[in-house]
Each structure stands twice: as C-alpha cells, then as structure tokens.
Amino acid sequence: MHLLVAVSPHGFGHAVQVAPVINALVQRLPALRVTVQSTVAGWFLRQRIGTDFQLVERSTDFGLIMNSALDVDLESSASAYANLHRSWEARVCEEASRLRALAPDLVLADVPYLSLAAAQAAEIPALALCSLNWADIYRNYFAHRREARHILEQMEAAYSAAGAFLCPEPCMPMGWLNNAVNIAPIAARGQNRRAALNELLGLDSDTALVLVAPGGVQTRFAMERWAADQNIHWLVSENWRVVHPCASAFERTGMTFTDLVTSCDAVLGKCGYGTVTECVVNGTPLLYIPRPDWPEEPILLGWLNDHRAAVEVSPQQLASGNFGDSVAAARALQVQPCTADGAEQAAAVLQSHLQPVGATLDSALHADDGTTGRTA
C-alpha cells in the first residue's frame, strides 16, 4: 500500500498537523509506503514523521505569500492565485499525470486543493485533512476581486471532490462542505524535561523559560533590544543569531520541539493550529501576538481561552521586550489540558480507505471513542 501526503508549505503548521496522523497510520499499517510531496524543509519533516518516507520536493500550493509570520502580502497572493487559476485545467492535468506516475493507492492533502482535483482526474481516492481550507482563506481576503467567483468555484469543487474532509478541533466553520467530518484535536505530546533544561542552561527554578516560536515563515524579532533584567530566559532559533545574555538556541538543547513546549513556562508566538493545540495538550500557556485579519484566529483564540492558556502580548511589547507582567500572568494560569485523539481517528479513516474490505467511514470514525461524525 502506498500513501501520498501533499503538505502545504505555508509555514510549518500543516506538517505539524499531518505528521501525527502519518505516525498513527504506520502503527496500524507497518508495511505502508509513504511519499510526502512538499517544499517544507526535509529536516523538519524528518523530525516530526517517525517513519521512512520518500520526499518529493514539490508543492502544489502556496497558501498565502507572507511578508513575515504576521503580515500577508495581499497583492502578491492575489496575483499568484490569479496566475494559478488562469491555466487551471492544464495544471490539473499536469498534476494528475504526476500522480499516476507515483501510483499511490490514496492521496491525503493538508490541504492543497490542486492535489485533490488532480487525484479526481487521475481516478485516485483522496482525502483532505485540515482545520482550515484555502477557499475560505481566499474568500476572507479577496472575495471583492473580479476573478474571485471563478477561482472560488474551482477551489470549492476540488475540496468537495475529496472522499472526506477531516476537520480536527478547533477548526474553522466549513458549512458549505458536504463531506466535512469532525474529529478530535491533533497534537503531539511531549515530555517535561525542565530539570534537565535548567541544568543545561544554568538556570534556577525562579527563572521563567519562554520558547520563542513565531512559526515556519521567516521572521526575526529584534531581541537585542529586549531587557535582560526580567528574570526570563528565551529559547530561540539558532538561525536568528541572537546576541543576548538571556537567550539560548533551542537546537543546542538536543531536545525535540514538543518536549521544549512541554518544559517551558510559556511559548511566545502567533495563534496557529499546531502551536495552539500543542500548548493546550501539553499544559503550556501561549503568549500570543494578535493577527486580527487572520480568519482562523477567533476560533483558535476562543479554544485557547476555553482551556485557560492565552495571554495577549502587544506589538509594543515585541519592540520593547517588556514581557515581565505577561510572563508572570502566564505562569499564574492553570491551563486545562485536553486529550488529542484526532490523529488516531484520522488514521482509522485512512486505514478504512487503504483496506476497504469490511470497513466503512462511519465504523472507522467510531472505532475509538464514538465522539466524531459528519458535520450537520
């Protein structure tokens, strides 16, 4: 059996979301051959996916073109969508030919819609998995444009062609989809290794440890301007080359990112699905940077607040680095963790499509705890 997973390269969030599903499915089907099609960095995919896989370094979507992790380049994004859909039928035929050559038994898209349209053209079964879809994101920013109606028709038809669209909690409303299926949250669990981190970094138990994680889109905060007298130690990407007495590169800890999330007092970043769910599941507050124009944010922020895991930080704080009060507020929170059974539920659905004899979508969905099902 051969599964092809098409992953949007819009940051790391789509890879973070789909990796636990792949891992759970391989536990069920150890002989499964996995191909990942994406331009997400191979080192990151291998860090998250716990099985051998073939990487096809090609993407069939871009999501949105970003100026930074927090700022969408609207004009470039609109132009890119217009260019893609100007030759839509040819793109679908071209991608269908590639899929036939790769010969998967099933395509899973998180969440490139061109891959779904191509799978339909190639007569290969396909499923979608995501807490959002690019049609609704496009609609939020570009519905007023002259070409939007035609583009949205093609996007929606592609998503509707999937055998099912698996929607992990918390997800955007997708009422226009007749194939949407709700599943539980998807998130990797980490181990609390705080004692080892304190020893490695030379920190005492009173020092707050904050993981800085704005997402996979290239962004760097001007941390050199941040105050060094706040009793806060920052874990940051080595690529940032930060020179600050209270900052260390998280790569040099030798720990997985999920273990770091679990071990820190807080994570500083934006409301993205992977960050939000991994914070809640592992009991870590999120110091979140607001993105009021991002349509998924109200859903994610509401879910964070339901689990008492959110503290807002302002753009002014990012500039000044005055986080003392916010970090103290985060440390005082009593986060209410939740279970994350979505990966197992999704894996059961995928298995039912790869091994269809005697299996149905409904039986797969209710194989674990009976909490999931088709949306109204």
Residue 198 sits in a domain of what CATH number?
3.40.50.2000
Domain match, 30 and 162 both: yes
pTM (predicted TM-score): 0.92
Residues 301-315: tens digit of each pLDDT? 999 999 999 999 998
Domain match, 158 and 204 both: no
Instruction: Give percent above pLDDT 70 in the chain.
Output: 94
Residues 180-223: tens digit of each pLDDT? 999 999 999 999 999 999 999 999 999 999 999 987 666 788 89
Residues 6+ away with beta carbon under 8 Å from 280:
185, 187, 303, 304, 307, 309, 335, 336, 337, 338
SS3 (DSSP) at 355: coil
Which of 309, 280, 302 lies closest to 189, judged by CA?
A: 280
Domain match, 37 and 157 both: yes
pLDDT higher than 60, residue 51: yes
Peptide bond into 170 cis (omega under 30): yes
Q: Which of these ranges, 131-140, 256-265, 350-359, has the smallest mean pLDDT? A: 350-359
Q: In the structure, what pLDDT confidence band is assigned to residue 139 with cuts at 50, 70 and 90?
A: very high
Domain match, 285 and 247 both: yes
Domain match, 75 and 148 both: yes
> How many CB atoms within 10 Å of residue 151?
22
Residues 144-153: tens digit of each pLDDT? 999 999 999 9
* Mean pLDDT across 304-327: 94
Distance CA 248, CA 75 (A): 37
Domain match, 26 and 46 both: yes
- The residue segments making up the domain with residue 201 are 194-332
Domain count, the chain: 2
Residues 238-284: tens digit of each pLDDT? 988 989 999 999 999 999 999 999 999 999 999 999 999 999 999 99
Domain match, 175 and 323 both: no
pLDDT higher than 80, residue 371: no
SS3 (DSSP) at 211: strand
Domain match, 25 and 139 both: yes
Domain match, 150 and 293 both: no
Domain match, 198 and 182 both: no
Domain match, 180 and 202 both: no
Work out the mean pLDDT of the chain and round it to a whole number.
Answer: 93
Which of 355, 367, 350, 306 lies closest to 163, judged by CA?
A: 350
Domain match, 204 and 326 both: yes
| Cα dihedral 294, 299, 301, 305 in deg (nearest 10) | 170
Q: What is the pLDDT of residue 148?
A: 98
